[in-house]
Structure 1
Protein backbone atom coordinates (compact mmCIF):
# COMPACT_ATOMS: atom_id res chain seq x y z
CA UNK A 1 0.00 0.00 0.00
CA UNK A 2 2.89 2.35 0.85
CA UNK A 3 4.53 1.53 -2.49
CA UNK A 4 1.31 2.31 -4.37
CA UNK A 5 1.01 5.64 -2.56
CA UNK A 6 4.64 6.50 -3.35
CA UNK A 7 4.09 5.77 -7.05
CA UNK A 8 1.07 8.08 -7.10
CA UNK A 9 3.05 10.86 -5.45
CA UNK A 10 5.89 10.47 -7.95
CA UNK A 11 3.50 10.47 -10.91
CA UNK A 12 1.77 13.58 -9.62
CA UNK A 13 5.14 15.31 -9.26
CA UNK A 14 6.13 14.38 -12.81
CA UNK A 15 2.80 15.64 -14.15
CA UNK A 16 3.23 18.94 -12.35
CA UNK A 17 6.76 19.32 -13.69
CA UNK A 18 5.57 18.58 -17.23
CA UNK A 19 2.76 21.09 -16.91
CA UNK A 20 5.20 23.72 -15.70
CA UNK A 21 7.61 22.92 -18.51
CA UNK A 22 4.87 23.30 -21.11
CA UNK A 23 3.99 26.82 -19.99
CA UNK A 24 5.59 29.05 -22.62
CA UNK A 25 7.62 32.08 -21.68
CA UNK A 26 6.58 35.36 -23.32
CA UNK A 27 8.51 35.87 -26.56
CA UNK A 28 10.18 39.27 -26.68
CA UNK A 29 9.60 41.39 -29.79
CA UNK A 30 12.12 40.93 -32.59
CA UNK A 31 12.41 44.70 -33.06
CA UNK A 32 12.81 47.55 -30.61
CA UNK A 33 11.02 50.88 -30.82
CA UNK A 34 11.76 53.73 -30.98
CA UNK A 35 14.57 53.50 -33.50
CA UNK A 36 15.60 57.11 -32.88
CA UNK A 37 14.65 60.29 -31.05
CA UNK A 38 12.89 62.23 -33.78
CA UNK A 39 9.40 63.65 -33.36
CA UNK A 40 8.06 61.05 -35.80
CA UNK A 41 9.31 58.24 -33.56
CA UNK A 42 6.49 59.12 -31.16
CA UNK A 43 4.01 58.57 -33.99
CA UNK A 44 5.57 55.21 -34.85
CA UNK A 45 5.42 54.06 -31.23
CA UNK A 46 1.80 55.21 -30.91
CA UNK A 47 0.82 53.29 -34.04
CA UNK A 48 2.59 50.20 -32.74
CA UNK A 49 0.63 50.36 -29.50
CA UNK A 50 -2.60 50.77 -31.43
CA UNK A 51 -2.09 48.28 -34.28
CA UNK A 52 0.74 46.01 -33.07
CA UNK A 53 2.65 46.77 -36.28
CA UNK A 54 6.33 47.66 -36.38
CA UNK A 55 7.11 50.58 -38.69
CA UNK A 56 10.83 50.45 -39.35
CA UNK A 57 13.00 52.97 -41.14
CA UNK A 58 16.15 51.07 -40.18
CA UNK A 59 16.22 47.43 -41.25
CA UNK A 60 18.34 44.79 -42.96
CA UNK A 61 18.03 42.98 -46.26
CA UNK A 62 17.01 39.93 -44.22
CA UNK A 63 14.03 41.87 -42.84
CA UNK A 64 12.94 42.72 -46.37
CA UNK A 65 13.73 39.72 -48.54
CA UNK A 66 12.95 36.68 -46.41
CA UNK A 67 9.55 35.41 -45.33
CA UNK A 68 7.95 32.08 -44.55
CA UNK A 69 7.59 30.95 -48.14
CA UNK A 70 10.19 32.50 -50.44
CA UNK A 71 12.94 35.09 -50.90
CA UNK A 72 12.59 38.35 -52.77
CA UNK A 73 15.11 38.82 -55.60
CA UNK A 74 15.44 42.60 -55.23
CA UNK A 75 16.59 44.86 -52.40
CA UNK A 76 15.26 47.62 -50.18
CA UNK A 77 17.35 50.36 -48.60
CA UNK A 78 16.84 52.27 -45.36
CA UNK A 79 14.76 55.43 -45.41
CA UNK A 80 16.28 58.87 -45.63
CA UNK A 81 15.55 60.16 -42.09
CA UNK A 82 14.64 63.59 -43.48
CA UNK A 83 11.65 62.09 -45.31
CA UNK A 84 10.26 59.62 -42.78
CA UNK A 85 7.69 62.13 -41.51
CA UNK A 86 6.29 62.77 -44.99
CA UNK A 87 6.10 59.03 -45.66
CA UNK A 88 4.20 58.49 -42.41
CA UNK A 89 1.81 61.24 -43.46
CA UNK A 90 1.30 59.42 -46.76
CA UNK A 91 0.47 56.20 -44.87
CA UNK A 92 -1.95 58.00 -42.56
CA UNK A 93 -3.77 59.83 -45.35
CA UNK A 94 -3.91 56.95 -47.83
CA UNK A 95 -4.41 53.95 -45.52
CA UNK A 96 -5.21 54.67 -41.90
CA UNK A 97 -7.81 57.34 -42.65
CA UNK A 98 -9.66 55.38 -45.34
CA UNK A 99 -9.85 51.80 -44.03
CA UNK A 100 -12.15 50.90 -41.11
CA UNK A 101 -10.37 50.39 -37.80
CA UNK A 102 -11.53 46.78 -37.55
CA UNK A 103 -10.10 46.01 -40.99
CA UNK A 104 -6.79 47.69 -40.14
CA UNK A 105 -6.39 45.79 -36.89
CA UNK A 106 -7.02 42.53 -38.73
CA UNK A 107 -4.91 43.15 -41.81
CA UNK A 108 -1.99 45.46 -40.99
CA UNK A 109 1.22 43.46 -41.38
CA UNK A 110 3.69 42.55 -38.67
CA UNK A 111 6.08 45.14 -40.10
CA UNK A 112 6.03 48.06 -42.52
CA UNK A 113 9.44 48.96 -43.92
CA UNK A 114 10.05 52.56 -44.95
CA UNK A 115 12.64 52.40 -47.72
CA UNK A 116 14.33 55.12 -49.72
CA UNK A 117 14.56 52.78 -52.68
CA UNK A 118 13.31 49.34 -53.75
CA UNK A 119 14.86 47.73 -56.78
CA UNK A 120 17.59 45.65 -58.38
CA UNK A 121 20.93 47.36 -58.87
CA UNK A 122 20.35 50.76 -60.44
CA UNK A 123 16.85 49.85 -61.63
CA UNK A 124 14.19 51.22 -59.31
CA UNK A 125 10.97 49.28 -58.83
CA UNK A 126 8.29 50.67 -61.12
CA UNK A 127 5.75 50.92 -58.31
CA UNK A 128 7.99 51.39 -55.28
CA UNK A 129 5.92 48.97 -53.18
CA UNK A 130 6.47 45.36 -52.21
CA UNK A 131 4.52 42.89 -50.09
CA UNK A 132 4.96 39.49 -48.50
CA UNK A 133 2.99 37.49 -45.96
CA UNK A 134 4.36 39.47 -42.99
CA UNK A 135 5.63 42.69 -44.55
CA UNK A 136 4.71 45.75 -46.58
CA UNK A 137 7.57 47.85 -47.94
CA UNK A 138 7.10 51.44 -49.09
CA UNK A 139 9.99 52.62 -51.22
CA UNK A 140 9.28 56.34 -51.30
CA UNK A 141 10.92 57.53 -48.08
CA UNK A 142 13.16 59.95 -49.94
CA UNK A 143 12.92 63.24 -51.82
CA UNK A 144 11.03 61.74 -54.79
CA UNK A 145 7.66 61.51 -53.01
CA UNK A 146 7.45 65.28 -52.59
CA UNK A 147 8.28 65.75 -56.27
CA UNK A 148 5.30 63.77 -57.53
CA UNK A 149 2.54 65.61 -59.37
CA UNK A 150 -1.09 65.18 -58.20
CA UNK A 151 -1.67 62.67 -61.02
CA UNK A 152 1.45 60.73 -60.05
CA UNK A 153 0.38 60.73 -56.40
CA UNK A 154 -2.94 59.18 -57.42
CA UNK A 155 -1.06 56.42 -59.23
CA UNK A 156 1.06 55.87 -56.12
CA UNK A 157 -2.19 55.55 -54.17
CA UNK A 158 -3.38 52.82 -56.52
CA UNK A 159 -0.10 50.93 -56.23
CA UNK A 160 -0.21 51.23 -52.43
CA UNK A 161 -3.72 49.79 -52.15
CA UNK A 162 -2.84 47.03 -54.58
CA UNK A 163 0.24 46.04 -52.56
CA UNK A 164 -1.72 46.20 -49.31
CA UNK A 165 -4.48 43.96 -50.64
CA UNK A 166 -1.98 41.58 -52.21
CA UNK A 167 -0.64 40.95 -48.72
CA UNK A 168 -4.14 40.38 -47.33
CA UNK A 169 -4.71 37.72 -50.01
CA UNK A 170 -1.49 36.01 -49.00
CA UNK A 171 -2.72 35.79 -45.41
CA UNK A 172 -6.33 34.86 -46.33
CA UNK A 173 -7.73 38.01 -44.72
CA UNK A 174 -9.45 38.78 -48.02
CA UNK A 175 -10.56 36.51 -50.84
CA UNK A 176 -11.36 36.76 -54.53
CA UNK A 177 -15.14 36.31 -54.82
CA UNK A 178 -16.58 33.52 -56.93
CA UNK A 179 -18.57 36.08 -58.92
CA UNK A 180 -15.30 37.59 -60.13
CA UNK A 181 -13.81 34.20 -60.96
CA UNK A 182 -16.91 33.39 -63.00
CA UNK A 183 -16.14 36.36 -65.26
CA UNK A 184 -12.51 35.35 -65.78
CA UNK A 185 -11.33 33.81 -69.08
CA UNK A 186 -10.91 30.01 -69.17
CA UNK A 187 -7.15 30.43 -69.62
CA UNK A 188 -5.37 33.74 -69.08
CA UNK A 189 -2.36 32.60 -71.05
CA UNK A 190 -4.46 32.24 -74.18
CA UNK A 191 -5.71 35.85 -74.16
CA UNK A 192 -3.84 37.91 -76.74
CA UNK A 193 -2.37 41.22 -75.48
CA UNK A 194 -4.58 43.16 -77.91
CA UNK A 195 -7.69 41.42 -76.53
CA UNK A 196 -7.12 42.02 -72.81
CA UNK A 197 -9.60 44.88 -72.38
CA UNK A 198 -12.16 43.15 -74.57
CA UNK A 199 -11.94 40.15 -72.21
CA UNK A 200 -12.38 42.36 -69.15
CA UNK A 201 -8.72 42.40 -68.08
CA UNK A 202 -7.35 45.82 -67.06
CA UNK A 203 -3.94 44.44 -66.07
CA UNK A 204 -1.19 44.94 -68.68
CA UNK A 205 -0.03 41.74 -70.31
CA UNK A 206 2.57 39.68 -68.44
CA UNK A 207 3.46 36.00 -68.32
CA UNK A 208 2.28 35.97 -64.71
CA UNK A 209 -1.28 37.07 -65.52
CA UNK A 210 -3.85 35.14 -63.48
CA UNK A 211 -7.08 35.68 -61.59
CA UNK A 212 -5.24 37.20 -58.61
CA UNK A 213 -3.36 39.80 -60.66
CA UNK A 214 -6.57 40.43 -62.60
CA UNK A 215 -8.44 41.19 -59.36
CA UNK A 216 -5.61 43.26 -57.90
CA UNK A 217 -5.48 45.34 -61.08
CA UNK A 218 -9.09 46.37 -60.50
CA UNK A 219 -8.20 47.54 -56.99
CA UNK A 220 -5.32 49.55 -58.42
CA UNK A 221 -7.37 51.12 -61.21
CA UNK A 222 -10.36 51.96 -59.00
CA UNK A 223 -8.35 53.55 -56.19
CA UNK A 224 -6.27 55.66 -58.59
CA UNK A 225 -9.12 57.06 -60.71
CA UNK A 226 -12.34 58.94 -60.12
CA UNK A 227 -15.61 57.39 -61.25
CA UNK A 228 -15.84 60.08 -63.92
CA UNK A 229 -12.41 59.12 -65.25
CA UNK A 230 -13.35 55.45 -65.33
CA UNK A 231 -16.62 56.14 -67.13
CA UNK A 232 -14.70 58.04 -69.79
CA UNK A 233 -12.06 55.32 -69.98
CA UNK A 234 -12.18 51.59 -69.25
CA UNK A 235 -15.90 51.57 -68.39
CA UNK A 236 -16.93 53.26 -71.64
CA UNK A 237 -18.57 51.15 -74.34
CA UNK A 238 -15.74 52.17 -76.63
CA UNK A 239 -13.27 50.23 -74.45
CA UNK A 240 -15.51 47.76 -72.63
CA UNK A 241 -17.02 46.28 -75.78
CA UNK A 242 -18.35 43.13 -74.07
CA UNK A 243 -19.38 44.79 -70.81
CA UNK A 244 -17.04 42.52 -68.83
CA UNK A 245 -15.05 45.34 -67.26
CA UNK A 246 -18.18 46.94 -65.80
CA UNK A 247 -19.40 43.58 -64.49
CA UNK A 248 -16.06 42.93 -62.79
CA UNK A 249 -15.97 46.49 -61.50
CA UNK A 250 -19.41 46.05 -59.92
CA UNK A 251 -18.32 42.79 -58.27
CA UNK A 252 -15.17 44.35 -56.81
CA UNK A 253 -17.01 47.42 -55.52
CA UNK A 254 -19.81 45.34 -53.97
CA UNK A 255 -17.40 42.85 -52.39
CA UNK A 256 -15.37 45.47 -50.56
CA UNK A 257 -18.43 47.45 -49.51
CA UNK A 258 -20.44 44.51 -48.21
CA UNK A 259 -17.70 42.29 -46.82
CA UNK A 260 -15.09 44.76 -45.57
CA UNK A 261 -17.01 48.09 -45.37
CA UNK A 262 -14.49 49.72 -47.73
CA UNK A 263 -15.64 52.02 -50.52
CA UNK A 264 -12.86 51.64 -53.07
CA UNK A 265 -14.41 54.16 -55.43
CA UNK A 266 -14.58 56.77 -52.69
CA UNK A 267 -10.83 56.29 -52.30
CA UNK A 268 -10.35 56.80 -56.03
CA UNK A 269 -12.53 59.91 -55.97
CA UNK A 270 -10.26 61.63 -53.46
CA UNK A 271 -8.01 64.41 -54.80
Structure 2
Protein backbone atom coordinates (compact mmCIF):
# COMPACT_ATOMS: atom_id res chain seq x y z
CA UNK A 1 0.00 0.00 0.00
CA UNK A 2 2.79 2.39 0.95
CA UNK A 3 4.54 1.65 -2.36
CA UNK A 4 1.30 2.39 -4.24
CA UNK A 5 0.92 5.79 -2.46
CA UNK A 6 4.52 6.73 -3.25
CA UNK A 7 3.91 5.97 -6.94
CA UNK A 8 0.83 8.22 -6.93
CA UNK A 9 2.77 11.03 -5.25
CA UNK A 10 5.64 10.69 -7.72
CA UNK A 11 3.23 10.81 -10.68
CA UNK A 12 1.59 13.93 -9.22
CA UNK A 13 4.92 15.75 -8.79
CA UNK A 14 5.97 14.78 -12.33
CA UNK A 15 2.70 16.15 -13.73
CA UNK A 16 3.23 19.47 -11.91
CA UNK A 17 6.78 19.78 -13.23
CA UNK A 18 5.62 19.13 -16.80
CA UNK A 19 2.88 21.74 -16.44
CA UNK A 20 5.37 24.28 -15.08
CA UNK A 21 7.80 23.63 -17.92
CA UNK A 22 5.02 23.97 -20.47
CA UNK A 23 3.92 27.30 -18.98
CA UNK A 24 7.50 28.61 -18.92
CA UNK A 25 7.91 27.90 -22.62
CA UNK A 26 4.82 30.01 -23.34
CA UNK A 27 6.14 33.06 -21.47
CA UNK A 28 6.47 36.13 -23.67
CA UNK A 29 9.16 38.79 -23.21
CA UNK A 30 7.92 42.09 -21.81
CA UNK A 31 8.74 45.51 -23.16
CA UNK A 32 11.69 47.24 -21.40
CA UNK A 33 10.56 49.59 -18.66
CA UNK A 34 10.51 53.25 -19.60
CA UNK A 35 11.59 55.65 -16.85
CA UNK A 36 11.11 58.93 -18.72
CA UNK A 37 8.00 60.57 -20.06
CA UNK A 38 8.17 62.09 -23.51
CA UNK A 39 7.48 64.74 -24.62
CA UNK A 40 8.96 66.89 -21.86
CA UNK A 41 7.24 69.98 -23.24
CA UNK A 42 5.20 71.21 -26.18
CA UNK A 43 7.80 72.79 -28.46
CA UNK A 44 8.72 71.71 -32.00
CA UNK A 45 11.89 70.03 -30.73
CA UNK A 46 9.79 67.82 -28.45
CA UNK A 47 8.36 66.12 -31.53
CA UNK A 48 11.92 65.63 -32.81
CA UNK A 49 12.95 63.95 -29.55
CA UNK A 50 9.87 61.70 -29.47
CA UNK A 51 10.64 60.53 -33.00
CA UNK A 52 14.31 60.04 -32.16
CA UNK A 53 13.39 57.78 -29.23
CA UNK A 54 11.03 55.79 -31.44
CA UNK A 55 13.78 55.31 -34.03
CA UNK A 56 16.77 54.62 -31.76
CA UNK A 57 15.53 53.92 -28.23
CA UNK A 58 17.63 56.84 -26.96
CA UNK A 59 16.14 59.66 -24.87
CA UNK A 60 17.08 63.28 -25.53
CA UNK A 61 16.42 64.93 -22.15
CA UNK A 62 16.72 68.63 -21.40
CA UNK A 63 15.06 68.37 -17.99
CA UNK A 64 16.76 65.82 -15.77
CA UNK A 65 17.56 65.18 -12.13
CA UNK A 66 20.89 65.20 -10.32
CA UNK A 67 20.76 61.40 -10.19
CA UNK A 68 20.11 61.12 -13.94
CA UNK A 69 23.55 62.61 -14.49
CA UNK A 70 25.58 61.73 -11.39
CA UNK A 71 24.57 58.13 -10.66
CA UNK A 72 27.38 55.87 -11.84
CA UNK A 73 26.16 52.39 -10.93
CA UNK A 74 27.64 52.15 -7.43
CA UNK A 75 28.54 55.76 -6.66
CA UNK A 76 27.90 59.37 -7.62
CA UNK A 77 30.13 61.32 -9.99
CA UNK A 78 32.16 64.22 -8.64
CA UNK A 79 30.60 66.35 -11.37
CA UNK A 80 27.27 68.10 -11.74
CA UNK A 81 25.26 69.13 -14.79
CA UNK A 82 22.75 71.95 -15.06
CA UNK A 83 19.59 71.60 -17.11
CA UNK A 84 19.49 73.13 -20.59
CA UNK A 85 18.74 76.75 -21.33
CA UNK A 86 15.52 75.87 -23.12
CA UNK A 87 15.68 78.68 -25.65
CA UNK A 88 18.96 77.13 -26.87
CA UNK A 89 17.74 73.54 -27.24
CA UNK A 90 17.09 73.57 -30.99
CA UNK A 91 20.46 75.26 -31.63
CA UNK A 92 22.20 72.56 -29.59
CA UNK A 93 20.32 69.71 -31.26
CA UNK A 94 21.00 71.06 -34.75
CA UNK A 95 24.70 71.29 -33.92
CA UNK A 96 24.78 67.69 -32.61
CA UNK A 97 22.94 66.55 -35.73
CA UNK A 98 25.28 68.31 -38.15
CA UNK A 99 28.50 67.60 -36.24
CA UNK A 100 27.80 63.97 -35.30
CA UNK A 101 24.47 62.28 -36.02
CA UNK A 102 24.42 62.92 -39.78
CA UNK A 103 27.82 61.23 -40.21
CA UNK A 104 26.50 57.73 -39.43
CA UNK A 105 23.87 55.37 -40.77
CA UNK A 106 20.99 54.40 -38.49
CA UNK A 107 22.58 50.98 -37.96
CA UNK A 108 25.90 52.49 -36.93
CA UNK A 109 24.27 55.08 -34.68
CA UNK A 110 22.61 52.29 -32.70
CA UNK A 111 26.08 50.98 -31.90
CA UNK A 112 27.21 54.34 -30.53
CA UNK A 113 24.15 55.82 -28.86
CA UNK A 114 23.58 55.54 -25.10
CA UNK A 115 20.29 55.14 -23.24
CA UNK A 116 20.04 58.91 -22.89
CA UNK A 117 21.62 62.10 -24.18
CA UNK A 118 21.39 64.90 -21.64
CA UNK A 119 21.24 68.47 -22.94
CA UNK A 120 22.91 70.60 -20.29
CA UNK A 121 23.82 74.27 -19.99
CA UNK A 122 27.03 73.40 -18.14
CA UNK A 123 28.99 70.49 -16.66
CA UNK A 124 31.16 71.31 -13.66
CA UNK A 125 33.58 69.40 -11.48
CA UNK A 126 32.85 69.11 -7.77
CA UNK A 127 35.57 69.27 -5.13
CA UNK A 128 35.01 68.14 -1.56
CA UNK A 129 34.43 70.95 0.96
CA UNK A 130 32.94 69.73 4.24
CA UNK A 131 32.20 73.29 5.36
CA UNK A 132 29.64 73.78 2.58
CA UNK A 133 26.00 72.65 3.07
CA UNK A 134 26.27 70.52 -0.07
CA UNK A 135 29.65 69.13 0.95
CA UNK A 136 31.20 70.38 -2.30
CA UNK A 137 32.57 73.38 -4.13
CA UNK A 138 31.55 73.71 -7.77
CA UNK A 139 34.35 74.71 -10.14
CA UNK A 140 33.39 77.48 -12.54
CA UNK A 141 34.80 75.94 -15.72
CA UNK A 142 32.30 74.18 -17.95
CA UNK A 143 34.02 70.99 -19.16
CA UNK A 144 31.51 70.74 -22.02
CA UNK A 145 31.09 66.97 -22.47
CA UNK A 146 30.83 63.97 -20.15
CA UNK A 147 30.38 60.24 -20.79
CA UNK A 148 28.57 58.44 -17.97
CA UNK A 149 27.47 54.89 -17.36
CA UNK A 150 24.30 55.27 -19.45
CA UNK A 151 24.49 58.75 -20.91
CA UNK A 152 26.49 61.21 -22.93
CA UNK A 153 25.95 64.76 -21.70
CA UNK A 154 26.31 67.78 -23.96
CA UNK A 155 27.15 70.81 -21.85
CA UNK A 156 26.83 73.57 -24.43
CA UNK A 157 23.05 73.97 -24.51
CA UNK A 158 23.54 77.64 -23.76
CA UNK A 159 24.24 80.90 -25.54
CA UNK A 160 27.99 80.25 -25.83
CA UNK A 161 27.54 77.68 -28.62
CA UNK A 162 26.40 80.26 -31.16
CA UNK A 163 29.21 82.61 -30.14
CA UNK A 164 32.01 80.04 -30.59
CA UNK A 165 34.73 80.52 -33.17
CA UNK A 166 35.11 78.04 -36.03
CA UNK A 167 38.09 76.44 -34.27
CA UNK A 168 36.13 76.05 -31.02
CA UNK A 169 33.25 74.40 -32.87
CA UNK A 170 35.68 71.93 -34.46
CA UNK A 171 36.90 71.03 -30.95
CA UNK A 172 33.35 70.41 -29.78
CA UNK A 173 32.62 68.36 -32.90
CA UNK A 174 35.65 66.12 -32.34
CA UNK A 175 34.71 65.78 -28.67
CA UNK A 176 31.21 64.65 -29.65
CA UNK A 177 32.58 61.77 -31.72
CA UNK A 178 35.10 60.87 -29.03
CA UNK A 179 32.43 60.87 -26.31
CA UNK A 180 30.08 58.51 -28.14
CA UNK A 181 32.93 56.17 -29.07
CA UNK A 182 34.06 56.23 -25.44
CA UNK A 183 30.55 55.26 -24.33
CA UNK A 184 30.27 52.41 -26.85
CA UNK A 185 33.70 51.07 -25.85
CA UNK A 186 32.88 51.26 -22.13
CA UNK A 187 29.72 49.18 -22.68
CA UNK A 188 31.57 46.76 -25.02
CA UNK A 189 29.22 47.58 -27.88
CA UNK A 190 32.36 47.97 -29.99
CA UNK A 191 36.02 47.02 -29.45
CA UNK A 192 39.37 48.57 -30.21
CA UNK A 193 40.84 47.05 -33.41
CA UNK A 194 43.33 44.28 -32.67
CA UNK A 195 46.02 45.98 -34.76
CA UNK A 196 45.81 49.10 -32.56
CA UNK A 197 45.76 47.08 -29.34
CA UNK A 198 48.93 45.28 -30.46
CA UNK A 199 50.74 48.65 -30.54
CA UNK A 200 49.55 49.69 -27.08
CA UNK A 201 52.09 49.43 -24.27
CA UNK A 202 51.90 51.58 -21.13
CA UNK A 203 54.99 50.11 -19.45
CA UNK A 204 57.25 52.95 -18.36
CA UNK A 205 54.62 55.59 -19.09
CA UNK A 206 55.57 58.95 -17.60
CA UNK A 207 55.39 62.68 -18.26
CA UNK A 208 58.70 62.42 -20.16
CA UNK A 209 58.27 59.00 -21.82
CA UNK A 210 54.67 59.06 -23.09
CA UNK A 211 55.57 60.30 -26.58
CA UNK A 212 57.99 57.42 -27.19
CA UNK A 213 55.13 55.02 -26.34
CA UNK A 214 52.98 56.56 -29.06
CA UNK A 215 50.63 58.47 -26.73
CA UNK A 216 49.30 61.87 -27.77
CA UNK A 217 48.86 63.03 -24.19
CA UNK A 218 50.10 62.08 -20.75
CA UNK A 219 47.67 60.30 -18.46
CA UNK A 220 49.03 58.51 -15.41
CA UNK A 221 46.69 55.49 -15.66
CA UNK A 222 46.38 55.08 -19.40
CA UNK A 223 44.24 52.39 -21.02
CA UNK A 224 43.96 51.24 -24.61
CA UNK A 225 40.42 52.69 -24.80
CA UNK A 226 41.73 56.09 -23.69
CA UNK A 227 44.57 55.92 -26.19
CA UNK A 228 42.25 54.92 -29.02
CA UNK A 229 39.67 57.65 -28.36
CA UNK A 230 42.41 60.26 -28.03
CA UNK A 231 43.43 59.36 -31.58
CA UNK A 232 39.80 59.53 -32.74
CA UNK A 233 39.51 63.02 -31.25
CA UNK A 234 42.72 64.29 -32.84
CA UNK A 235 42.12 62.64 -36.21
CA UNK A 236 38.78 64.45 -36.40
CA UNK A 237 39.94 67.71 -34.86
CA UNK A 238 42.95 68.24 -37.15
CA UNK A 239 43.37 67.63 -40.85
CA UNK A 240 46.42 65.66 -41.99
CA UNK A 241 48.60 68.72 -42.44
CA UNK A 242 47.75 70.04 -38.98
CA UNK A 243 48.12 66.63 -37.32
CA UNK A 244 51.52 66.10 -38.96
CA UNK A 245 52.76 69.49 -37.74
CA UNK A 246 51.65 68.73 -34.19
CA UNK A 247 52.47 65.06 -33.76
CA UNK A 248 54.50 63.60 -36.64
CA UNK A 249 57.67 65.56 -36.03
CA UNK A 250 60.96 63.90 -35.09
CA UNK A 251 60.72 65.51 -31.65
CA UNK A 252 57.28 64.09 -30.90
CA UNK A 253 57.26 60.81 -32.82
CA UNK A 254 60.79 59.59 -32.59
CA UNK A 255 59.59 56.00 -32.21
CA UNK A 256 57.27 56.14 -35.23
CA UNK A 257 54.37 54.74 -33.19
CA UNK A 258 52.23 57.85 -33.52
CA UNK A 259 52.32 57.63 -37.32
CA UNK A 260 51.35 53.94 -37.20
CA UNK A 261 48.45 54.48 -34.77
CA UNK A 262 47.20 57.51 -36.67
CA UNK A 263 47.13 55.57 -39.94
CA UNK A 264 45.28 52.67 -38.27
CA UNK A 265 42.63 54.97 -36.78
CA UNK A 266 42.02 56.77 -40.07
CA UNK A 267 41.73 53.43 -41.87
CA UNK A 268 39.39 52.05 -39.19
CA UNK A 269 37.06 55.06 -39.28
CA UNK A 270 36.86 54.89 -43.07
CA UNK A 271 36.43 51.12 -43.37
CA UNK A 272 34.14 50.47 -40.40
CA UNK A 273 32.18 53.73 -40.13
CA UNK A 274 32.51 55.37 -43.56
CA UNK A 275 34.09 58.40 -41.88
CA UNK A 276 36.48 60.50 -43.95
CA UNK A 277 38.48 62.31 -41.28
CA UNK A 278 39.57 65.04 -43.70
CA UNK A 279 35.97 66.02 -44.44
CA UNK A 280 35.11 66.33 -40.75
CA UNK A 281 38.36 68.09 -39.76
CA UNK A 282 37.86 70.68 -42.53
CA UNK A 283 34.12 71.12 -42.07
CA UNK A 284 32.55 74.51 -41.53
CA UNK A 285 30.04 74.54 -38.66
Alignment partner of 1:201 is 2:206: no
Aligned to 2:3: none
Look at both structures and tell me which one has the larger radius of gyration over its CA atoms.
2
Alignment partner of 1:171 is 2:187: yes
Structure 1: stretches of 5+ with no match in the other structure: none
Q: Root-mean-square deviation (CA), in Å? A: 2.8
User: Does the 8 A contact of 2:211 with 2:252 survive in 1?
Assistant: yes
Q: Distance in 1 between matches of 2:64 and 2:22?
A: 41
**Residue 124 and residue 50 in structure 1: after superposition, are their counterparts in 2 closer, same or farther (change >3 A)?**
farther
Q: TM-score normalised to the size of structure 1?
A: 0.86
User: Does the 8 A contact of 1:199 with 1:242 survive in 2?
Assistant: yes
Aligned to 2:262: 249
Q: TM-score normalised to the size of structure 2?
A: 0.82
**Residue 19 and residue 254 in structure 1: after superposition, are their counterparts in 2 closer, same or farther (change >3 A)?**
same
**Residue 8 and residue 142 in structure 1: after superposition, are their counterparts in 2 closer, same or farther (change >3 A)?**
same
Residue 118 of structure 2: which of 109, 113, 126 is its match? 113
Secondary structure of the residue aligned to 1:114 is strand
Does 57-66 or 229-238 show the bigger shift?
Answer: 229-238
- Please list the CA deviations of residues 150-188 of structure 1 after superposition, one character each: whole Å capped at 9, or x if unmatched: 11111111222111111011111221223223323341x
- Please list the CA deviations of residues 73-129 of structure 1 after superposition, one character each: whole Å capped at 9, or x if unmatched: 211111010111111011101111112321102321110000111113442456411
Q: Distance in 2 between matches of 1:260 and 1:267?
A: 13
**Residue 169 and residue 25 in structure 1: after superposition, are their counterparts in 2 closer, same or farther (change >3 A)?**
closer
The offset of 1:72, in angstroms, is: 1.5
Aligned to 2:129: none
Q: Distance in 1 between matches of 2:20 and 2:213?
A: 65
Q: Distance in 1 between matches of 2:215 and 2:18?
A: 66
Aligned to 2:145: 129
- Please list the CA deviations of residues 204-262 of structure 1 after superposition, one character each: whole Å capped at 9, or x if unmatched: x2323332222111111111111221122212345322222110101111222223333
